[in-house]
Amino acid sequence: MAITGIKGFNDILPGEVEKWQHIEATARRVFGLYGFAEIRIPILEKTELFARSIGDTTDIVEKEMYSFEDKGGNRVTMRPEGTASVMRAFIEHKLYAQDPVAKLYYLGPMFRYERPQKGRYRQFHQIGAEVTGVTDPKVDAQVLTMLCQFFAELGLTEPQLQINSLGCPDCRPVYRQALKDFLRAKLDLLCDDCKRRFETNPLRALDCKATGCKEATAGAPSVLDHLDAACQEHFAAVRKNLEAVGTAYTINPRMVRGLDYYTRTTFELVTGLLGAQSAVAAGGRYDGLISDLGGPSLPGIGFAMGVERVALLLAEEEFRKRPDLFVAALGDDAQAEAFRLMCALQKLGVAVEMDYEGKSLKSQMRRADKFNARFTLIIGGDEIAKGAAQLKNMDAGIQEEVTLAAEAVAGKVKG
């Protein structure tokens, strides 16, 4: 029996991969406009890094990490996300000493042992961006506006931006207590997970999909009514800045994130088109994370998008690459001529295909159809004798004679 891949670990095949390249190129271009530089971080980190940053009692750390002991007996984990690693690198290489304001982006695979379904995989890919060193709410608006610009440049009207504030270590405990007091009388309704984390992480019940949890949390106190004055002011300024630059958003006071490091602004870009996996991108502020990881006391904010989910939102056909030209040839001499011409054109930057096996004209034309080349050129004995052939523009359905010289063909095909 043939060996298959591992469940939840996908191959990204030609046809699909062009869409990924387009997503990545758009991200690089748009993020570049906002002054972000790329950082490449390793896939494997010390387990402790994620336990300390994402939080011991989160689903990710409790249940979903690919952790193991390496041959040297070290506890290591395949990164479930990028923020912790980027901040570890920021601290380790003292990037803050050159400039506390760093704008960094990254892309690559992440690993979580979740139950695979459409839009949810065990190896998935994120494109993420992080900014350190700025408390001013202008930067929250910049990060969100950049993310919305990215989706707009992909031509997507979905997903839509939702924002919330989770307060800070001063006001969140007050809210937690208010929520616990509210939920205590309804504990029986909560699902097993929410019951278990009632003491450690009661906020999770707010965005739990279980019917009982929805019922129990109906009418629950809102985090936004419990923000202290500084957090209220920050949230109001984020909203004002978003409005000033025309970035549309809605407020979702029930949004709680599955990672513990968030403070103040949190956000998600959500879609109704992907079933249960509604978050296409998500992130927020993490003003305590850098110091928690042993770095200086600097704030941070960022997001990550799931590339698979973005790809699902994009129509497929648009991204298939078409060769510029398909060359068909009849007979051995023409085959040799077509091959020489193809190689010369490729060196001139023209994307050319031919049928290497030199089958019948009919089968060569079937192949030409499959490639959907923009132009075709058919070479036989007469054409070689004349030194010219008919170049057919497949979209316009018209043809014209062209000299059988690479420069001449390239001139016509590249337009």
Which is nearer to ligand HAM, 55 or 82 (by Cβ)? 82
Chain-centre distance for alpha carbon 101: 23
Rounded Cα–Cα distance for residues 403 and 272 (Å): 54
Residue pair 203/179 in contact by the 8 Å Cβ criterion: yes
Tell me the CA distances in angstroms from 242 to 142, 188, 380, one per residue in order.
8, 41, 64
Tally the residues of the chain.
415
Name the 3-class secondary structure at 273: coil
CB of 307 to ligand HAM, least distance (A): 8
Q: Which residue is nearest to ligand HAM (CB)?
A: 306
Q: How far is the CB of 349 from ligand HAM (least distance, A)?
A: 37
* Nearest distance from C-beta of residue 398 to ligand HAM, angstroms: 46
> In 3-state terms, what secondary structure has residue 98?
helix
* Residues 194, 191: Cα–Cα separation, whole Å: 5
Report in angstroms how near the CB of residue 129 gets to ligand HAM at its nearest: 7
Q: Which residues bind ligand HAM (CB under 6 A)?
A: 81-83, 112, 114, 119-121, 124, 126, 128, 130, 258-259, 279-284, 302-306, 308-309
Nearest-approach distance from CB 120 to ligand HAM, in angstroms: 4
In terms of CB distance, is 213 or 310 closer to ligand HAM? Answer: 310
Q: Which lies closer to ligand HAM via its Cβ, residue 204 or residue 374?
A: 204
CB of 99 to ligand HAM, least distance (A): 19
**106 or 326, CB closer to ligand HAM?**
106
Q: How far is the CB of 199 from ligand HAM (least distance, A)?
A: 23
Q: Which is nearer to ligand HAM, 125 or 374 (CB)?
A: 125
Spatial neighbors of 42 by CB under 8 A, at least 6 apart, are 79, 85
Sign of CA dihedral 345, 347, 349, 353: positive
Centroid of chain to Cα 403:
46
For helices 137-153 and 229-244, give the axis angle rounded to 10 degrees: 40
Distance CA 309, CA 319 (A): 16
Between 27 and 373, name the residue whose CB sits nearer to ligand HAM. Answer: 27
Alpha-carbon distance of 134 to 117, in angstroms, equals: 38
For the CB of residue 64, give the shortest distance to ligand HAM in the complex, in Å.
Answer: 8
Minimum gap (Å) between residue 176 Cβ and ligand HAM: 21
For the CB of residue 145, give the shortest distance to ligand HAM in the complex, in Å. Answer: 16
Long-range contacts, 381-390 (Cβ 8 Å, 24+): 381/330, 381/331, 381/333, 381/334, 383/334, 384/333, 384/334, 384/337
Residue number with CB closer to ligand HAM (10 or 403):
10
Cβ closer to ligand HAM: 58 or 247? 58
Cβ of residue 265: shortest distance to ligand HAM, in angstroms?
A: 10
Cβ(345)–Cβ(325) under 8 Å?
yes
Query: What is the distance between the terminal CA atoms of the chain, rounded to a whole angstrom?
Result: 50
Closer to ligand HAM at the Cβ: 16 or 114? 114
Phi/psi for 384 (5° steps) reads: -65, -40
Nearest residue (CB) to ligand HAM, 252 versus 346: 252
Between 126 and 164, whose beta carbon lies closer to ligand HAM? Answer: 126
In which order are the strands placed within the sheet that holds 388-393? 352-354, 325-329, 375-379, 388-393, 398-403
Residue matched to tokens 């030209």: 325
**How many helices (DSSP H) and strands (DSSP E) are in the chain?**
16, 16
